[in-house]
């Protein structure tokens, strides 16, 4: 659609220095800050809650992209909205009432996102697309940074990009999991707008160079 957006995930940062991570992201030329919220139930890992988001909020003006990997996301969405998230994405697998939740996120003045794990087909979110500002296609099974990219997920990106075109919609498509210089080109070719980058970003010695490389097609 437009230019490629880069969303480093602080999941791979030093958890004792999130403020430093935000400074590094700001200085890198990246566009969004991706915040991975895990509840130990929907995924087998725990991260952080709305207080961290609220405490980081005054430290950056970048778009805060909250990715909720939690069961019953409707219970937590208001707290993340209040904490200063700009976009809130939840999983289609985590609630029966996705349409209602997307609508209520928009009503809170936030960008509404829906995400799917690798085993969930594109068709499962077809009816939800008019209510979404962002669709996050997981390219690993969520829960941890540093996992191997699953290339078959790009077929789903192509299907969702095609559905977007057919329905005349303009939501952004993100991919999350295993994105780095080698995997980004195929994702972009499939129709992705936003690259979430966790371990590759924090491992990069020259972060601005990595961001430039990913933005220019990997």
Residues labelled as active-site residues: 36, 176
**Cα-based angle 80, 30, 61 (whole degrees, multiple of 5):** 45
Does position 204 interact with ligand DX5 (CB under 6 A)? The reply is no
**Residue 48 contact, options ligand DX5, Zn ion, none, Cβ 5-8 Å cut-off depending on partner type:** none
Where does 37-88 have alpha helices with state H? Answer: 50-56, 77-83
User: Phi, psi at residue 7, to the nearest 5°?
Assistant: -125, 85
Integer Cα distance of 211 and 166 in angstroms: 31
Q: Is 61 exposed, middle or buried (0-12, 13-18, 19+ CB in 10 A)?
A: exposed
Member of 73, 178, 191, 218 binding ligand DX5 (CB under 6 A): 178
**Count of positions on this chain that bind Zn ion (CB under 5 A):** 3
What's the min distance (Å) between Cβ of 79 and Zn ion? Answer: 18
Quick one: which H or E segment has residue 63?
A: strand 63-69
Integer Cα distance of 185 and 189 in angstroms: 6
Does position 145 interact with ligand DX5 (CB under 6 A)? The reply is yes
Nearer Cβ to Zn ion (81/162): 81
Q: Can you tell me whether residue 191 is helix, strand or coil?
A: coil
Burial pattern 94-118, b for ≥16 Cβ within 10 A else e, equals bbeebeebbebbeeeebbbbbbbbe
Q: Where in 11-40 is the site for ligand DX5 (CB under 6 A)?
A: 11-12, 34, 36
Q: Where in 119-178 is the site for Zn ion (CB under 5 A)?
A: 176
Member of 135, 196, 210, 211 binding ligand DX5 (CB under 6 A): 196
Nearer Cβ to ligand DX5 (44/208): 44
Does position 143 interact with ligand DX5 (CB under 6 A)? The reply is yes
Nearer Cβ to ligand DX5 (112/140): 140
Distance between first and last Cα of the chain: 17
Does position 36 interact with Zn ion (CB under 5 A)? The reply is yes
Q: Where in 59-98 is the site for Zn ion (CB under 5 A)?
A: 67
Does position 116 interact with ligand DX5 (CB under 6 A)? The reply is no
User: Helices 207-215 and 18-28 meet at what angle, rounded to 10?
Assistant: 50
| Chain residues that interact with Zn ion, rule: CB under 5 A | 36, 67, 176
| Chain residues that interact with ligand DX5, rule: CB under 6 A | 9, 11-12, 34, 36, 67, 140, 142-147, 176-179, 196-200
């Amino acid at each position: 659609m437009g230019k490629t957006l880069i969303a480093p995930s602080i999941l791979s940062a030093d958890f004792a220095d999130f403020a430093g991570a935000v400074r590094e992201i700001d200085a890198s030329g990246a566009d969004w800050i991706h915040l991975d919220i895990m509840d130990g139930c929907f995924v087998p890992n725990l991260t952080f809650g709305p207080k961290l988001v609220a405490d980081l909020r005054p430290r950056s003006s970048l778009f805060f992209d909250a990715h909720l990997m939690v069961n019953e996301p409707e219970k937590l969405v208001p707290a993340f909205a209040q904490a200063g998230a700009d976009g809130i994405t939840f999983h289609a697998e985590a609630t029966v009432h996705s349409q209602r939740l997307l609508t209520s996120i928009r009503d809170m003045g936030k960008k509404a996102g829906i995400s799917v794990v690798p085993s969930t087909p594109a068709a499962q979110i077809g009816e939800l697309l008019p209510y979404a500002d962002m669709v996050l296609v997981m390219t690993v099974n969520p829960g941890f940074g540093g996992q191997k990219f699953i290339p078959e997920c790009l077929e789903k990106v192509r299907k969702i990009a095609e559905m977007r075109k057919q329905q005349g919609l303009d939501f952004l498509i993100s991919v999350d999991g295993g994105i780095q210089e080698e995997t980004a080109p195929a994702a972009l070719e499939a129709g992705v707008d936003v690259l979430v980058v966790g371990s590759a970003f924090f491992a990069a010695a020259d972060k601005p160079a990595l961001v430039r490389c990913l933005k220019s097609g990997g």
